Structure 1
Amino acid sequence: MKEVDYLIVGCGLAGVSFCEELRAHDKSFVVFDDQSQQSSIVAAGLYNPVILKRFTEVWKAKEQLEMAWDFCEDLENLLGVKLDYKLPVYRRFTSVEEQNDWFNASDNPALEAFLSPKVIKNENPAIDAPFGFGEVHDTGRIDTSTLLNHYKLFLRTINSYSNETFDYSLLSMQEKSLSYKNLNAKFIVFAEGYGMVKNPFFEYLPLNVVKGEVLTIKAPDLKMDFILKSSVFVVPENDDCYSVGATYNWEDKTHEITEEAKNELLEKFENIIHCDYELVNQMAGIRPTVKDRRPLVGTHSKHKNMAILNGLGTRGVMIGPYVAKQLFLHLLKGQPLDAEIDIKRFQI
């Protein structure tokens, strides 16, 4: 039997965040990943401290941003790839009233560090924005696809990756240890995303799932060096390509791309962008969300060495490192979890 400190089920943003917390503390682990969940892969990877629809600060934005930047810098050094693209977010205004709403929001003490009080005039002929933009600071894009692909290759090099579906029936739990096939461990952490709905230990938790679809557009004449937020996000990538998304479908639980989503995104894109483009790709994924917009973090009511790290929603690149550290300190030292993320809030 092989002895390790942790088993981790799932290798999306939540799983990678926890792996990095373990590596920082010299803990051994094995990750099980059947690559069935795609929400992290298709995510635009945006980090943005402001909810622009309601002009409110993202939960614990400052703490999360600082940890996310350090997390990505460490991964860039580890993997030898570029991951963090620091770009401002430009919120497109559709009226003078929206400009005034922006001015009011920028005076809010909780937001003034993130929102520029100036209206930026549109000088790009390919973008329809007669009322200009508002600029959000401390924003950017993490290349989540590159991150996950290279991280899994890294895990293979240290013999910590198993490309297989986890079989819950083979897990044997003891008070201070556990075993699975040929492995003995002290703790197990489930970071399965949407896969949690099949987990017999945590299936009672209220995980809401929403399907999102994203397009990749090639538009050589767009020449945009910022992230545009309007009815859709338009996010610069490489080689004159842009991500356009995303849709929200609460009924469809498949990973299949749809014509309906493509048409919806293209219609919104064409309403704000006026230049030739080519549709390069379309992807779909299922986002794990929670009704109170907080992650699912904590230990099983009977098995204190069994934990969950899930429900990161659309802001996984920001939230992941923050909640991973909270869970690690909780398991290792018994440090209390933030009540807002602790799954005890759903236990009867």
Structure 2
Amino acid sequence: MKQVDYIIVGCGLASIAFCEKLRANNKSFVVFDDESQQSSIVAAGLYNPVILKRFSEVWRAKEQLEIALPVYNKIEADLNIKIDYRLQILRRFASVKEQNLWFNASDKPKLEPYLSTELVKNSNNAIDAPYGFGEVLHAGRIDTETLIGAYKNFLKENNSLYKTRFKYDKLQIKSGSFQYEDVIAKYIVFAEGFGVKQNPYFNFISLNGTKGEVLTIKAPELKLEYAIKSSVFVIPVGNDLYTVGSTYNRDDKSNTPTQEGKNELLSKLKTFVTCDFDVVNHVAGIRPTVKDRRPLVGKHPEHKNLYVLNGLGTRGVMIAPYVAEKLYRFIENNEALDSEININRFLG
């Protein structure tokens, strides 16, 4: 039998962030992951403190960035990988009205640090942007595919990864501990993303799930060193490759890319990218979204020491370390969870 402090189910952004809290505090753990959830892998990985559709602040953006970036930088150092790319994000303006809305928003105290007041003129012949751009400050991209792949290898090397589906009916709940196959743990944290819908312990939480599809294009003539947000995002990832995303489908709950999603992305992309390009990849995943757009963190109402860490939505790279910190303090230090992230808000 293997005895650990924690069993963690899932190995996406939420799980990795929580693992890092455990490692920092010398807690032992194992991770179960069957690679059924892809939202973290297909995510664009931007950390962007502004909602660019309506020029408003991301929920707790300053706190999230202050916690998240040191976590990713430590992972880079410990695993000898590069995942954090500081990236200029430009919001393409569709009209003079949007320019005015941007500059009005930049006067707001919470947005002032993140919105440049200098209009950026377009100098790229492959981009149609007659009204120019607004620049988002303190933004960047986490390479989530590299992060998750490297972290799984790291866990495997430390005999901490079980690449298998967690079978809920095999979990034995004992006094003060849990036993699952050959592992005994004091705590279990379910960080399964949309997979929590199949979890009999936490299937009551109000997780909706929104499918997102993303393309990778190769465009040698585009020559972008910055990300553009227009009707879709275009994000440079090197070697003339760009991530284009994303769609939002609340009805389809499969990880299968669709022609409809591809057509939608291409139609929007062609409204402002004028050069030739080839689609070289097309992926899809289900984001763990919540109706009130807040994470789902908390303890099972009956089973002591059974926890959930979920609901990161579309901004997982920013939110994951923040909520991992909150959950760890809740478990280990008995610090109360904020009511706006606590799953108790859905218990009635």
User: Same fold by TM-score, threshold 0.5 exceeded?
Assistant: yes
C-alpha contact 1:253 1:286 (8 A) present in aligned 2: yes
- The residue type paired with residue 321 of structure 1 is P
Residues 214-264 of structure 1: CA distance to partner in whole angstroms, max 9, x if unpaired? Answer: 000111111111110000000010111000000011111111111111111
Q: Per the alignment, in what secondary structure is the counterpart of residue 208 of structure 1?
A: coil
* Distance in 1 (alpha carbons) for counterparts of 2:177 and 2:202: 19
- The residue type paired with residue 295 of structure 1 is P
Residue 315 of structure 2 corresponds to which residue in structure 1? 315
C-alpha contact 1:224 1:236 (8 A) present in aligned 2: yes
C-alpha contact 1:222 1:275 (8 A) present in aligned 2: yes
Residue 327 of structure 1 corresponds to which residue in structure 2? 327
Residue 281 of structure 2 corresponds to which residue in structure 1? 281
Deviation at 1:347, TM superposition (A): 1.1
Residue 266 of structure 2 corresponds to which residue in structure 1? 266
- The residue type paired with residue 154 of structure 2 is F
Instruction: State how 1:146-295 maps to structure 2 within 5 Å.
Output: 146-295=146-295
Runs of 4+ in 1 over 2 A off after TM superposition: none
* Distance in 1 (alpha carbons) for counterparts of 2:81 and 2:220: 24
* Distance in 2 (alpha carbons) for counterparts of 1:208 and 1:175: 33
- The residue type paired with residue 207 of structure 2 is L
C-alpha contact 1:43 1:144 (8 A) present in aligned 2: yes
- The residue type paired with residue 201 of structure 2 is F
* Distance in 1 (alpha carbons) for counterparts of 2:175 and 2:220: 60
Instruction: State how 1:20-59 maps to structure 2 within 5 Å.
Output: 20-59=20-59
* Distance in 2 (alpha carbons) for counterparts of 1:184 and 1:253: 33
- Work out the number of aligned pairs and report it: 348
- The residue type paired with residue 129 of structure 2 is A
Q: Per the alignment, in what secondary structure is the counterpart of residue 231 of structure 1?
A: coil
1:122 paired to 2:102: no
Residue 336 of structure 2 corresponds to which residue in structure 1? 336
- Segments of structure 1 that go 5 or more residues without pairing to the other structure are none
Deviation at 1:175, TM superposition (A): 4.0
- The residue type paired with residue 62 of structure 1 is K
* Distance in 2 (alpha carbons) for counterparts of 1:236 and 1:30: 35
- The residue type paired with residue 237 of structure 1 is V
- The residue type paired with residue 329 of structure 1 is R
Between 1:176-185 and 1:292-301, the stretch displaced more is: 176-185
Between 1:73-82 and 1:194-203, the stretch displaced more is: 73-82
* Distance in 1 (alpha carbons) for counterparts of 2:39 and 2:300: 25
- Segments of structure 2 that go 5 or more residues without pairing to the other structure are none
Root-mean-square deviation over aligned CA pairs: 0.8
Deviation at 1:55, TM superposition (A): 1.5
C-alpha contact 1:39 1:287 (8 A) present in aligned 2: yes
- Identical residues among aligned pairs (%): 60
Residues 179-237 of structure 1: CA distance to partner in whole angstroms, max 9, x if unpaired? Answer: 11111111000000010000001101110111100000111111111110000000010
* Distance in 2 (alpha carbons) for counterparts of 1:83 and 1:181: 35
Residue 63 of structure 2 corresponds to which residue in structure 1? 63
* Distance in 1 (alpha carbons) for counterparts of 2:163 and 2:5: 19
Residue 75 of structure 1 corresponds to which residue in structure 2? 75
Q: Per the alignment, in what secondary structure is the counterpart of residue 212 of structure 2?
A: strand
Q: Per the alignment, in what secondary structure is the counterpart of residue 328 of structure 2?
A: helix
Q: Per the alignment, in what secondary structure is the counterpart of residue 178 of structure 1?
A: strand
C-alpha contact 1:175 1:303 (8 A) present in aligned 2: no
Q: Per the alignment, in what secondary structure is the counterpart of residue 215 of structure 1?
A: strand
* Distance in 1 (alpha carbons) for counterparts of 2:138 and 2:271: 27
TM-score for the superposition, normalised by structure 1: 0.99
C-alpha contact 1:122 1:129 (8 A) present in aligned 2: yes
* Distance in 1 (alpha carbons) for counterparts of 2:220 and 2:49: 29
- The residue type paired with residue 182 of structure 2 is N
TM-score for the superposition, normalised by structure 2: 0.99
Deviation at 1:174, TM superposition (A): 2.8
Q: Per the alignment, in what secondary structure is the counterpart of residue 250 of structure 2?
A: coil
Residues 291-331 of structure 1: CA distance to partner in whole angstroms, max 9, x if unpaired? Answer: 00000000001112000000000100000000001101111
1:96 paired to 2:96: yes
C-alpha contact 1:175 1:305 (8 A) present in aligned 2: no
- The residue type paired with residue 135 of structure 1 is E
Residues 153-174 of structure 1: CA distance to partner in whole angstroms, max 9, x if unpaired? Answer: 0000111000000011111123
Q: Per the alignment, in what secondary structure is the counterpart of residue 272 of structure 1?
A: coil
